Amino acid sequence: MTAPAATQPGLTTTKAPYIEAAQARGELYIVQPYEQYSDANHDTWRRLYERMTPRWARYANQRFLDGITTLSLDPTRVPRLEDVNQFMRPRTGFRAKPVSGYVPAFRFFDCLRNREFPTTITIRDGDVLDYLPEPDIFHDIGGHVPMHTDAAFADTLVKFGECAHVAAEIVQGISDTQEQLRTLTSIQQAMARFFWFTIEFGLMRGPTPDECKVYGSGLLSSFGEVQHAVESPSVQRAPMQLEWVINQSFEIHRYQPLLFVIDDFEQLFDDVRRLEQWMKDGKLNNVAPGGPAIGEADLRSFLEAGH
């Protein structure tokens, strides 16, 4: 009797032996084993891409739509990161860098500084398209990376990455351990809140005064929330205010009730420069308490920076 053909284990989020093995070896930066994607993985990408396309056309900002065109993504198959980089790097110098899992905060921001975007290679389970236990390749490539083809947005990410180095220098100069950890926690909360309310969940003024468009990747990769963010009367949409953003806590497991609106990416870049200056001036040392919680690995990544 002929043995049944072996099936590929696939690269499904939380169910990928390749990722588990890499993590067991302590490997954070990996290669994308493209041949391991199963037919089910490719079908999940196809379904996600197909249902998001009309929502992108309606709610996404124009630079995101231009980025989708630039990347020439295949709507039917999980993208090869080397192909994505081939189209992206000539535009802004950015490249997708495959990782095996969570990247501690300083290392993540340092990647941005070097025009690298840590990219998850697994894809969510096709049985639960709207449930995302952790980032996947559709969130990273379908949500984040098209924006990385825009020069102004890419420069903003690089500047934000530079802020992490400023933060590391500041806290490493504090001799009292307790004060060092308190200050670092406050600065990291400010940075995390800024990133959340801009890069992940940011809105931008549309072509008309009463219109908003989406540029945040958390929205651009969410079928339900991208519409909710723009149209729901329950969402408060406030003009971008740095003072408010760095003191505003958030929860990750529900639709966001508060979003901030920028005029353009030049404003966003200016806000990152202000964030950096406030950091140097000590204005981030005592932000309002609340979420997000800052994990030990993230704190350690800043304390060990440059060692």
pLDDT per position as a tens digit, 218-247: 999 999 999 999 999 999 999 999 999 999
Confirm whether pTM is higher than 0.75: yes
What span, in angstroms and rounded, lies between the C-alpha atoms of 240 and 235? 15
Could you read off the pLDDT of 47-100 as tens digits, one per residue?
999 999 999 999 999 999 999 999 999 999 999 999 999 999 999 999 999 999
- For residue 129, tell me if it sits in a domain: yes
pLDDT confidence of residue 307: 63
Phi/psi at 64 (5° precision) = -65, -45
What span, in angstroms and rounded, lies between the C-alpha atoms of 76 and 42? 7
Q: Which residues of the chain have pLDDT under 70?
A: 1-8, 131, 133, 306-307
CATH number for position 196 = 1.10.800.10
DSSP 98-124: EESS---HHHHHHHHHTTEEEEE--B-
Three-class DSSP category at 28: coil
Q: How large is the greatest C-alpha to C-alpha distance in the chain, in angstroms?
A: 75
Q: How many residues does the chain have?
A: 307
- For residue 142, tell me if it sits in a domain: yes
What span, in angstroms and rounded, lies between the C-alpha atoms of 193 and 186? 11
The pair of three-digit structure tokens given for residue 263, joined into one six-digit string = 């005029």
DSSP 197-230: IIIIT-EEE-SSTT-EEE--HHHHT-HHHHHHHH
- For residue 30, tell me if it sits in a domain: yes
Q: Which residue range(s) make up the domain with 123?
A: 17-303
What span, in angstroms and rounded, lies between the C-alpha atoms of 55 and 228? 11
- For residue 2, tell me if it sits in a domain: no
- For residue 6, tell me if it sits in a domain: no
- For residue 11, tell me if it sits in a domain: no
Where do runs of H (alpha helix) occur along the chain?
17-24, 39-59, 62-71, 81-92, 105-113, 137, 151-172, 177-195, 217-220, 223-231, 242-245, 265-280, 296-303
Phi/psi at 119 (5° precision) = -125, 125
Count of structural domains within the chain: 1
Q: Which of 183, 205, 287 is nearest to 243 (CA)?
A: 287
Residues 6+ apart with CB under 8 A from 197: 245, 248, 250, 259, 260
What span, in angstroms and rounded, lies between the C-alpha atoms of 13 and 32? 14
- For residue 1, tell me if it sits in a domain: no
Residues 6+ apart with CB under 8 A from 211: 205
b/e code 235-245 from CB counts within 10 Å (16+ = b): beeeebebeeb
Q: Which of 76, 71, 81 is nearest to 121 (CA)?
A: 81
- For residue 193, tell me if it sits in a domain: yes
